[in-house]
Chains A and B, each alone.
Chain A
């Protein structure tokens, strides 16, 4: 099913552009650091402080005379890893809660959905702000878990609606009649059939998390330096926006392109799932 969806997405111009970019980005994140200089290395603090793009440093250097290209590429690694893990977490949570609520229905459903309603009443950024602003020190792993656990509410609603629909389907009825356990029905039959919407949610979720991490970094609460993340790089670049624009433009452009790509692919996937809107 997923392969079919991807194939369908590939057939649209937007989806193809997005997929090509995302594959390129993943390859870059995986292979780039092997050939580029160490992203922490400082070349010459006075001579190469915020130096404009040149042969050895095609994207220029930053305030600490570090290679911007190398940091952008290593930042792709960090940003993609943060987004990937956090989204995997939130999609899993969303799927489990949605399927359980939708399939079991009744009191479980009512309670879970009231909780989800409540959580959705507070914008995700504010949920994270109240945690991060008061915490003393947040390691990267905890940050990822926090981002992941605050991102599943909408997904769970979506999947619940799917589960409500699916549980009336004949094959589910048949499985029930054959005495399959609830767990088996949820994870064997329902999960497989919600893979499409989950893929859409995950794709769009990656873009959202990248934007969110950038926003948190802007407030000084994101990935902590010297670890390069795109959001953190923009924060570092803010004061030199005018005098050394290259320090911030490249990570900024990467954020925009990546989020754009995930949205194009997400849209194409959604249209493939539900062709009426195309």
Chain B
């Protein structure tokens, strides 16, 4: 067991290293260095650009740059943001909680409402409801998240004034923790709805497929033959079908992260996604690189954790 864990951890580290080298090379794949677009809209003299180049090591050979990037990373140093003049790690740490909150609530919603809808579909497979739910969830997936966000922000936030159209909290609000939480909850609704609408299709379809598969297994048929109630049979089936679905957690994470770039921008949500979008706009390459590094780390970590969970629950996995 321990050896298996160790090997799996080592694999994850290799994966992460490959991802980082790839990111680094991508940043240099096209002509023009990361600072060539920095002058947009800013009064920068050629001397200042040169000074920035020196400061960000861009005058050194590519391999040396890669070395210092990885070396810095090992020390937890991702460089200094051009725009913010502060260490990238600090900026990322400031913005991470907001994204975790948004992503966490969306995941929760996907795993409750999404699973429930998936079960419903599996049970009524082939019915009109099944088909409609499939089409609707797919339509959500097929809609650009920023487009849906823009429409919701305008309709609910501006036209009806039901909920705040942007931001995470009211800066003038005073009161206890409860008030502050209620305020954040209010601001969460629209971004969560948007992100869930475009991502819930995944959970629903996996749940549906997994449950259909399970309900066909011999032991379920046996159980049914033995006269167990439908309710009990479904419960057994669902518990087993849930298993493969949960392990897909790692797979949905990239979708959520990608969606958050757009949804956070549209709703001015102070998380990693809007920070990354700002970094793109400002050509702040250390910050963008740092955000991509963090995202890669989170994805690798999540897939490691699901693997571990899977391994703990199902000993067969460890053998393969």
Distance between Cα atoms of A219 and B139 in the complex (Å): 23
Distance between Cα atoms of A220 and B277 in the complex (Å): 10
Asked if A234 CB lies within 8 Å of chain B CBs, one says: yes
Interface residue tally for chain B (C-beta within 8 Å): 62
Is there an interface contact between B154 and A131, defined as CB atoms closer than 8 Å? no
Asked if A142 CB lies within 8 Å of chain B CBs, one says: yes
Is there an interface contact between B213 and A123, defined as CB atoms closer than 8 Å? no
Is there an interface contact between B213 and A13, defined as CB atoms closer than 8 Å? no
* Closest chain A residue to B32, Cβ basis: A136
Asked if A3 CB lies within 8 Å of chain B CBs, one says: no
Q: Which residues of B contact A242 (CB under 8 A)?
A: 154, 158
Is there an interface contact between B135 and A256, defined as CB atoms closer than 8 Å? no
Q: Which residues of A contact B17 (CB under 8 A)?
A: 118
Interface residue tally for chain A (C-beta within 8 Å): 50
Q: Which residues of A contact B261 (CB under 8 A)?
A: 125, 215, 219
Is there an interface contact between A134 and B144, defined as CB atoms closer than 8 Å? no
Known: A122-B296, A134-B285, A259-B141. A241 touches B150 (CB 8 A): yes
Shortest beta-carbon distance, B73 to chain A, in Å?
14
Shortest beta-carbon distance, A140 to chain B, in Å?
14
Q: Mark B144-167, 1 if CB is under 8 A from A, else 0.
A: 111100110010001000000000
Asked if A115 CB lies within 8 Å of chain B CBs, one says: yes
Q: Which residues of B contact A118 (CB under 8 A)?
A: 14-19, 21-22
Known: A123-B257, A134-B36. A238 touches B299 (CB 8 A): no
Is there an interface contact between A276 and B213, defined as CB atoms closer than 8 Å? yes
Distance between Cα atoms of A214 and B144 in the complex (Å): 7
Q: For residues 40 through 56 of chain A, which have their beta carbon under 8 Å from a beta carbon of chain B?
A: none
Q: Mark B55-91, 1 if CB is under 8 A from A, else 0.
A: 0000000000000000000000000000000000000
Is there an interface contact between B131 and A131, defined as CB atoms closer than 8 Å? no
Q: Mark B272-296, 1 if CB is under 8 A from A, else 0.
A: 0000110111010100110110011
Most buried by B among A214, A218, A257: A218
Q: Which residues of B contact A122 (CB under 8 A)?
A: 19, 22-23, 292, 295-296, 299
Distance between Cα atoms of A234 and B146 in the complex (Å): 10
Distance between Cα atoms of A238 and B16 in the complex (Å): 37
Shortest beta-carbon distance, A126 to chain B, in Å?
5
Distance between Cα atoms of A252 and B36 in the complex (Å): 33
Q: Which residues of A contact B296 (CB under 8 A)?
A: 121-122, 126
Most buried by B among A114, A123, A126, A218: A126
Distance between Cα atoms of A32 and B276 in the complex (Å): 39
Q: For residues 242 through 286 of chain B, which have their beta carbon under 8 Å from a beta carbon of chain A?
A: 254-255, 257-258, 261-262, 276-277, 279-281, 283, 285
Is there an interface contact between B154 and A252, defined as CB atoms closer than 8 Å? no
Asked if B107 CB lies within 8 Å of chain A CBs, one says: no
Asked if A119 CB lies within 8 Å of chain B CBs, one says: yes
Q: Which residues of A contact B11 (CB under 8 A)?
A: 117
Is there an interface contact between A131 and B18, defined as CB atoms closer than 8 Å? no
Asked if A11 CB lies within 8 Å of chain B CBs, one says: no
Known: A135-B30, A221-B280, A260-B142. A130 touches B288 (CB 8 A): yes
| Interface of B toward A, CB cutoff 8 Å | 11, 14-19, 21-23, 26-27, 29-34, 36-37, 131, 134-135, 138-139, 141-147, 150-151, 154, 158, 209, 212-213, 216, 254-255, 257-258, 261-262, 276-277, 279-281, 283, 285, 288-289, 291-292, 295-296, 299-300, 303
Knowing that A122-B299, A131-B29, A215-B145 touch, tell me 8 more A-B residue pairs with CB under 8 angstroms.
A115-B22, A124-B254, A126-B258, A126-B291, A133-B285, A135-B32, A257-B142, A267-B134
